[in-house]
Amino acid sequence: MIFPESDFWPPPILKLDNIFLSFGGTPLLAGANLQVEPGDKICLVGRNGSGKSTLLKIAAGIAEAQSGEVFRHPSSTVRYLEQAPDFAAFKTVQAYAEAGLGPGDDPYRVAYLLSHLGLTGEEDPNSLSGGEARRAALARVLAPEPDILLLGEPTNHLDLPTIEWLEGELQKSRSALVLISHDRRFLEKVSTATVWLDRGTSRRLDRGFGHFEAWRDQVLEAEELEQHKLGKAIEREEHWLRYGVTARRKRNMRRLGELQTMRSQYRGHKGPQGTVQATASDAQESGKLVIEAEKIKKTFGDRLIVAPFSIRVHRGDCIGLVGPNGAGKTTLLKMLTGQLSPDSGTVKLGTNLEIATLDQKREDLNPEDTLANYLTDGRGENLLVNGEQRHVTGYMKEFLFQPEQARTPIKNLSGGERARLMLARILSRPTNLLILDEPTNDLDIETLDLLQEIVVGFPGTVILVSHDRDFLDRTVTSTIAPAVPDAPDGRWIEYAGGYSDMLAQRKGAMEERRKAEKAAEKPKGEATQASEAPKAKGKLSFKQKFALDNLPKEMAKAEAEIAKREEKMADPNLFTKDPAAFNKLAAEMEKLRDSLTTMEEEWLELEMLREELEG
Tell me, what's the pLDDT at 3? 43
Of 573 and 411, the structure prediction assigns the larger pLDDT to: 411
| 122 and 191 fall within a common domain | yes
CA distance linking residue 168 with residue 172, whole number of Å: 6
Predicted confidence band of residue 381 (pLDDT cuts 50, 70, 90): confident
The whole-number pLDDT of residue 321 equals 94
Task: Compute the average pLDDT of residues 41-64.
Answer: 90
Q: What single-letter DSSP state applies at residue 273?
A: P
Print the domain residue range for 263.
214-268
Residues 205, 220 within the same domain: no
Which of the two residues, 252 and 573, has the higher pLDDT score? 573
Can you name the residues that pair with 297 across neighbouring β-strands?
344
User: Do 139 and 84 sit in the same domain of this protein?
Assistant: yes
Best-predicted range by mean pLDDT (75-79, 268-272, 541-545)? 75-79
pLDDT, residue 534, reads: 42
Any domain includes 2: no
Indicate if 191 and 307 belong to the same structural domain.
no
d(CA 292, CA 312): 5
- Least reliable range by pLDDT among 27-41, 231-245, 533-547: 533-547
Answer whether residue 512 is part of any domain.
no
Same structural domain, 311 and 399: yes
Answer yes or no: do 99 and 235 share one domain: no
User: Same domain, yes or no, for 603 and 493?
Assistant: no
Nearest one of 251, 316, 266, 264 to 288, comparing CA atoms: 316
pLDDT in tens, 214-229: 898 888 888 777 776 7
- Identify the weakest region by mean pLDDT among 196-210, 213-227, 366-380, 487-501: 213-227
Strand 14-21 versus strand 148-152 pairing type: unpaired
Coil, strand, or helix at residue 146? Answer: coil
The domain that contains 606 carries what CATH number? Answer: 1.10.287
Q: Which residue has the higher pLDDT, 83 or 461?
A: 461
The pLDDT confidence band at residue 293, using thresholds 50, 70 and 90, is: very high
Chain-centre distance of CA 217, in angstroms? Answer: 18
Residues 311 and 390 in one domain: yes
Calculate mean pLDDT across residues 236-263: 57
Domain with 187 in it: what CATH number?
3.40.50.300
Q: Are residues 529 and 496 in the same domain?
A: no
Q: What is the structure's pLDDT at 560?
A: 82
Instruction: Please give the average per-residue pLDDT across 295-302, as a whole number.
Output: 91
In a domain, 437, yes or no: yes
Q: Identify the pLDDT of residue 68.
A: 94
CB atoms within 10 A of CB 2: 4
Residue that is last in its domain, among 475, 506, 537: 506
**467 lies in the same domain as 426:** yes
Among residues 455, 475, 506, which one ends one of the domains?
A: 506
Instruction: Mention every residue, 6+ apart, whose C-beta is less than 8 A from residue 441.
Output: 156, 182, 360, 415, 419
Q: Which of 87-91, 259-263, 328-332, 504-508 has the lowest mean pLDDT?
A: 259-263
Instruction: Round to whole Å and give the CA distance between 488 and 326.
Output: 9
Determine contact, residues 296/335, Cβ cutoff 8 Å. yes
Q: Is a pLDDT exceeding 80 seen at residue 477?
A: yes
- Backbone phi, then psi, for 543, in 5-degree steps? -65, -40
- CB-based contact 595:559 (threshold 8 Å): no
- 139-148, 347-356, 357-366, 532-541, range with the lowest pLDDT: 532-541
* Whether the Cβ atoms of residue 66 and residue 22 lie closer than 8 Å to each other: yes
Residues 254 and 257: their CA atoms lie apart, in Å, by 5
Residue 591 has pLDDT above 60, yes or no: yes
488 CB-near residues (< 8 Å, 6+ apart): 323, 324, 326, 327, 328, 482
347, 416: one domain = yes
Rounded to 10 deg, the angle between the 253-268 and 212-243 helix axes is 140
pLDDT of residue 269: 52
Q: Percentage of the chain with pLDDT > 90?
A: 33
What is the model's pLDDT at position 248? 43
Tell me the pTM.
0.69
**Taking a C-beta distance cutoff of 8 angstroms, is the pair 569, 582 a contact?**
yes
Position 1 in a domain? no
**Of the given ranges (84-93, 254-263, 509-518), which has the lowest mean pLDDT?**
254-263
Mean local confidence (pLDDT), 181-199 = 92
Contact 536, 528 (CB under 8 A): no
Mean pLDDT of the 192-216 span: 92
Q: Are 197 and 228 in the same domain? A: no
Indicate whether 277 belongs to any domain. no
Specify if 394 maps to a domain. yes
- Domain count of the chain? 4
Confidence category of residue 200, pLDDT binned at 50, 70, 90: confident
Kindly report the CA angle at 171 between 167 and 172, in degrees rounded to 5? 125
Comparing 423 with 471, the larger pLDDT belongs to 471
Residue partners of 233: CB distance under 8 A and separation at least 6: 262
pLDDT at residue 102 in the model: 87
Asked whether residue 310 carries a pLDDT value surpassing 80, the answer given is: yes
CA end-to-end span of the chain: 74
What's the rounded mean pLDDT across residues 372-392?
A: 84
Position 423 in a domain: yes
Q: What is the DSSP letter of 521?
A: H
Q: Is residue 511 part of a domain?
A: no
> Distance of CA 441 to CAs 183, 208, 415, 445, 586, Å?
9, 22, 8, 11, 32
Does position 168 have pLDDT exceeding 80, yes or no? Answer: yes
pLDDT value for 489: 86
